[in-house]
Structure 1
């Protein structure tokens, strides 16, 4: 693929962290702020949307969603399968956690070259097209993967990373549960608590390193978000330079939020929610996470747990 331009108009909010940490909830809430468009987990758009034709957050198959059809036409003249294959091959080459040290150097020594330049060009085109199709100036990508955040920063995109953290014991409990994907009823991936702990630490440490590379990174805790959603979203919106004037947060009420339809390409089942959504903490791990798993998670994540305010008695 030939990189023909490096200019960009869309501002990108990238939600990073380990899955099951509340990124979809935060994306849905920020997506209700005027001028902001939630896109879902764009990293999975190619395989799950373009190839598998799974449902958009609006309920339509990806190929029949008017929003994504418009985005594809604007960005690439459609969604050719060979583009999805090309992006998948590029991702295998450049967008991997093990490549973060090399990507950190690329962030500091921009502009990118080779496969990284091609890869970030695709995302730039997609974000700009989504911004134009929605009429907003800000798009949200909740792909989570720290390596993709590095790629976007190295590519010179206007990206602000929001690091979403949650108590690793709660995350481990969620990853260990049996949950069916709403798209096809198949079981979602399950991880053992030890594996979850290592990934939780790796993703969050990688995002801390990204901040040291000069990329704006703002940390948000899931527990703070559900305890005081209006204050958390309002404070984050101000930090991100989003509208915070009268009425901009009226969709958040007392213990609930009202959600409109979102054209999210992939993500947690919450992406399909429309209408009133209760905003209550999910703390089932406190009674359901067995003691040995709790000890394992604490042992493997303790330094970061303490840094993020998760002591033994913390929420």
Structure 2
């Protein structure tokens, strides 16, 4: 797979990375992970070099762990790491397709690391409304409030935004845009990856965010007040 160009996709848990990767993987030029037995077919579980997000606290917590933020200065940013990752991921990827897609949530804090290992790679960051992310993540993190999850969302996005200045090829995709016009978003990804368009679209749950936002607005908890965070959310284009 040394001739394949990597596209690394990342974003906070419940941001739509699994859905987008699944749709992107229907393109005949894209080699993705399918039926691997790993959770959500994520590349983070199909290698033995980089830690899993659970080792850094998992959903709603991982970005706070300094080691989760990997750059070109990381001790693992070596040619040997690149060789091992290609070898391990290559067991699951069709070598006859020009683009290799690797999706894992913690990638959003590893784009600089992967750019150093695999020059010429493309990076796709998936954003979704922080309240929708928080509400849908709580089934995995009942000990965390919506406010705490939104604060983690902001912390992670701030890190990713700062990293973006160091990336040669970064595309930001909003979950809301994917729901509104999936064909346009996927065509944009194809152009970004340098391949032809051609995707299979299934039925999408376009009302999920509205349900999460309505449920949050009906909630009683003072701990979930986000008033002082609205300015920071607005910088990323999201409002409550």
**TM superposition score category, shorter chain reference:** 0.7 to 0.9
Contact kept, 8 Å, 1:17 with 1:203, in 2: the verdict is no
Among 108, 123, 131, the alignment partner of 1:161 is 123
Report the counterpart of residue 16 of structure 1 in structure 2. Answer: 10
Contact kept, 8 Å, 1:12 with 1:139, in 2: the verdict is yes
Give the Cα–Cα distance (whole angstroms) in 2 for the partners of residues 198 and 149 of structure 1. Answer: 21
35 and 293 in structure 1: CA distance in 2 versus 1, 3 angstrom threshold: farther
Structure 2 portions without partners, runs of 5+:
34-40, 57-61
Give the Cα–Cα distance (whole angstroms) in 2 for the partners of residues 281 and 17 of structure 1. Answer: 20
Report the counterpart of residue 148 of structure 2 in structure 1. Answer: 195
1:120-159 superposed matches below 5 A:
120-131=82-93, 133-145=94-106, 146-159=108-121
149 and 139 in structure 1: CA distance in 2 versus 1, 3 angstrom threshold: same
45 and 309 in structure 1: CA distance in 2 versus 1, 3 angstrom threshold: same
Contact kept, 8 Å, 1:163 with 1:204, in 2: the verdict is no
Contact kept, 8 Å, 1:38 with 1:141, in 2: the verdict is yes
The structure having more radius of gyration, on CA atoms, is: 1
Q: Tell me the TM-score normalized by structure 2.
A: 0.76
Structure 1 portions without partners, runs of 5+:
1-6, 47-83, 107-111, 178-187, 258-276
Deviation, structure 1 residue 32: 0.5
Give the Cα–Cα distance (whole angstroms) in 2 for the partners of residues 216 and 235 of structure 1. Answer: 13
Secondary structure of 1:154 counterpart: helix
Among 30, 35, 39, the alignment partner of 2:29 is 35
Give the Cα–Cα distance (whole angstroms) in 2 for the partners of residues 216 and 294 of structure 1. Answer: 39
Asked if 1:44 corresponds to 2:45, the answer is yes
How much is the aligned-residue C-alpha RMSD, in angstroms? 3.2
Asked if 1:299 corresponds to 2:228, the answer is yes
> Alignment length, in residue pairs?
220
304 and 36 in structure 1: CA distance in 2 versus 1, 3 angstrom threshold: farther
1:75-224 superposed matches below 5 A:
84=48, 88=51, 97-99=65-67, 103-104=70-71, 106=73, 115-117=76-78, 118-131=80-93, 133-145=94-106, 146-177=108-139, 188-190=140-142, 191-224=144-177
Give the Cα–Cα distance (whole angstroms) in 2 for the partners of residues 129 and 28 of structure 1. Answer: 19
Deviation, structure 1 residue 123: 1.8
Deviation, structure 1 residue 105: 5.7
Q: Tell me the TM-score normalized by structure 1.
A: 0.60
Give the Cα–Cα distance (whole angstroms) in 2 for the partners of residues 92 and 116 of structure 1. Answer: 19
Report the counterpart of residue 266 of structure 1 in structure 2. Answer: none
